[in-house]
Chains A and B, each alone.
Chain A
Amino acid sequence: MRVAELELDLEAFEGPLDLLLTLVLKEEIDLAEIDVAGIVLAFIEEMLGRGRSESGGAECELGEGDLEACGEFLVLVSALLELKARLLFDDEAAELAELEPEEAAEELARRLAAYRRMKEAAAWLAGRLEQEQDRFFRLGPAPLRPPVPRTVAPQDPAALAAALRVLATPPEEVSLAHMSLRYPPLEQFVQRFRSLLVGRSRFDFENELGELSRVEQAVAFLALLELGRLGEIAISQAAPFAPIRVERREESPAWTSARSA
């Protein structure tokens, strides 16, 4: 297993570990945002998953390769943690590093004294709580306050009427005329193509469209498909967007009967 390829799905980052490290080093991602514990969990899950799949579900011991991976991971994560700690406590770390041993001892003593005072305050509170444990009182939501009166500026009834009048006027009816489509009957085109093909054996579809509207052109094309389905014609096209060639199928009974008629 390669530690660098460990897939992560963290709140602030999703991807392989080595990409995360690269982004952190380039300072394109803020390490403070990264949940290092999440990385550790992802690694453990990965190791457990591998252990199970290798041993067919049972727990197994770590192999030599896994030990190496664990070592590599430990080094990486501890470096990451140190980096993060430095980032988080930047000023404080610098301040403390600059302190002389004497000053550091003084700082430690000061902090310990502060904590000790709080410990004593806590002990005082504990004593007080003990003393006051017989206090029973009503607890509940905050009492209702009287509503704040909301005054309305003087109003003119005529203004209200005018506003209502605007609302009461029915809006202009919207014309839907442009949306209605008229479809000529399919049969009309079927007949037209049939009669064309009685006279000659083939024609180009485009030449027959003439002045037809887009809708009529679409119906004409459907009629063509219908004739194709019935086996009366053969439709061919040399290349995409080339003219559509329509040819009579001589073997179709439609033509023999038409010719004999």
Chain B
Amino acid sequence: MDERPLRLITSSPLDALARTVEALLVVASAPLPLDDLVAAADDDVQRVEAALRLVGERHSEGRSGIVLEHVAGGYALRASREAAKACSRLFERPVQRSLSQAALETLAIVAYLGPCTRPEITRIRGVAAEATVANLLERGLIAEAGRDDGPGGAIRYRVTPLFERVFGLASLAELPRLDDFDNDVETIRERLHAVADGRGA
């Protein structure tokens, strides 16, 4: 049997470090931040980053069944998209049941404004958020993040690394800017006035 390892990894002076990084990522069940990889590999940041590039080259879509991704503030391996159908026959998706409109709106509020409290969510959506928040907590998409300083000390919530992973975000900074969404207060104001005039007439 040919004992020569794959060319891509042996051809680089970083091959041993790349193999170590690869092994760490296989063992991990959550994205590993760069700092953790550096500490575990006991090497310097630049070399670990270079090793990660090497692992990423080898584990990319179309090249491997396992794909390296930069997600939720760390690095992780996932199944390639071409294997998704096979995976779905055997495994549940991380968010199997679809998210309701209320759940998506609540998630958006927590992702953009978090850590935020349930009363704050209620104030924006105009309806009680209790059940939705409980549901998102149970799914692991949001988590408690301390208490508000104000009177009553309501519990604050933030989105979890699982949220970033499910939505394929390297970090929350990848969310589109809120200002880029329809921000036309003027149109809303005009429509409000139109409705008020209609009532008055």
A contact set with B: CB distance below 8 Å = 105-106, 108-126, 128-129, 131-143
Contacts and interface: CB of A to CB of B under 8 A. Distances in A.
A117 B182 contact: yes
B65 to A, nearest CB: 11
Contact of B79 (A125, A129, A137, A139): A137
Interface in B59-84: 76-79, 81, 83-84
B166 A132 contact: yes
B111 to A, nearest CB: 7
Given A105-B193, A136-B78, 17 more contacts: A108-B192, A112-B188, A114-B124, A120-B181, A122-B104, A125-B167, A126-B99, A128-B168, A129-B166, A136-B94, A137-B79, A137-B165, A138-B29, A139-B94, A140-B30, A142-B30, A143-B28
A109 B185 contact: yes
Contact of B183 (A108, A113, A137): A113
Given A120-B181, A124-B176, A143-B30, A136 B124 contact: no
Given A105-B192, A121-B111, A137-B77, A132 B105 contact: no
A122 B193 contact: no
Chain B, interface size category, equals: 35 or more
Nearest to A119: B105
B104 A125 contact: yes
Nearest to A133: B93
B185 to A, nearest CB: 5
Interface of B: 27-30, 32, 76-79, 81, 83-84, 87-88, 91, 93-95, 99, 101, 104-105, 107-109, 111-112, 124-126, 162, 165-168, 175-176, 178, 181-185, 188-189, 192-193, 196
A144 to B, nearest CB: 9
Contacts of B162: 139
Closest 3 CB pairs of A and B: A140-B29, A134-B84, A121-B108
Contact of B107 (A105, A117, A122, A136): A122
Contacts of B181: 116-117, 120-121, 124
A110 B186 CA distance: 9
A140 B91 CA distance: 14
A261 to B, nearest CB: 93
Contacts of B88: 136
5 contacts: A112-B192, A116-B188, A122-B104, A137-B76, A142-B30
Contacts of B79: 135-137
A82 to B, nearest CB: 19
B91 A113 contact: no
B11 to A, nearest CB: 29
A142 B187 CA distance: 48
A72 B169 CA distance: 57
B101 A129 contact: no
Contact of A109 (B93, B107, B188): B188
